[in-house]
Amino acid sequence: MAKRSRILGCGSYLPANVVTNRDLEQRVDTSDEWIVQRTGIKSRHIAAEGEMTSDLAVAAAVRALEHAGVDAGSIDCIVLATTTPDNTFPATATKVQAALGTKGFALDIQAVCAGFVYALSIADNFIRAGQATRALVIGAETFSRLLDWNDRTTCVLFGDGAGAVVLDGYEGAGTSNDRGLLSTHLHSDGAHYDLLYVDGGPSSTGMTGHVRMHGQDIFRHAVSKLSAVVEEALTANGLEPSAVDWLVPHQANQRIIDGIARKLKLSSDKVVLTVDRHGNTSAASIPLALCEAVHDGRIKRGDLILMEAIGGGLSWGSALVRW
């Protein structure tokens, strides 16, 4: 027997304001053709003025609780992955906790685009250690607030949104046939800190700053590091790539996603793709994609789901989940 964390339900939220590539053509020197060819992105959602990360997180969490069929009072742990907290402190997760009326403890985790995988791992370990029995894991971002809207290399890439899952502890058999999180695998390499970063912060400039990125270097690292961490997850569970039913990747760039799918020999209809409509929503991208595929019926009970992501830090990771 082995303590496992299974996913009881999921929920998501996207701001109402949709910004297309054609809209951006009126704002910066770019084109729909250029953006689609290099990234696969056609549109993204942008939070309204006054709409904060906590608002997005609460909306996604409420839907996840409804889908799971559990009361907020049964949640004793919230782990919120975000790069865009409402305030420097306290943790935005505590704001979510107050809005939902949950008990226990709440914390933020910062691993940029890899944040949701990190948050899953943290909540899973709390459950395995007996420090929590039921957890709410959220990825939520108002990433548009970090963008320099005059920088055409970055402002076209990102969007806002939130996704959440409810984790519940149970005793599994300890095999790859168990439901829930089979394993998570986390990595970081601070030697590449300056490849993707925000040029500001409370300790350095006293200001928020804007996203700065070395795109070609990030692409190169993404392909190699994600391939390795995907293989690590499969090997740890004694599984072959053919066992994977669904790839639910971080939605940063369609070319990267296609490359990982080819390595797994997965057909395109087994890859959950939302980057075309959501853009890169950082820590929110995996749960947003997961929720879409669950709620439209593609992902079914017993399916094996592979999640992977890479972001600033560099930080990257993978998770194998049996739905």
| Alpha-carbon gap, residue 96 to 173, rounded angstroms | 34
140 Cβ contact list (under 8 Å, min separation 6): 53, 54, 56, 57, 60, 80, 81, 82, 92, 161, 162, 163, 164, 283, 284
Residue 180 corresponds to which tokens in the numbers above?
Answer: 């829930």
- Residue 209's identity, in one-letter code, is G
| Alpha-carbon gap, residue 87 to 104, rounded angstroms | 21
| Alpha-carbon gap, residue 59 to 165, rounded angstroms | 12
Residue 7 corresponds to which tokens in the numbers above?
Answer: 């996913």
280 is catalytic: yes
Please pick, among 67, 185, 210, 250, the residue that the annotation labels catalytic: 250
Distance of CA 118 to the CA centre of its chain: 9
| Alpha-carbon gap, residue 271 to 159, rounded angstroms | 20
| Alpha-carbon gap, residue 123 to 147, rounded angstroms | 30
Please pick, among 113, 155, 185, 210, the residue that the annotation labels catalytic: 113
| Alpha-carbon gap, residue 299 to 293, rounded angstroms | 6
Using a 10 angstrom Cβ sphere, with 0-12 exposed, 13-18 middle and 19 or more buried, the burial of residue 38 is: middle
Neighbours of 170 (CB within 10 A): 14
Catalytic residues: 113, 250, 280
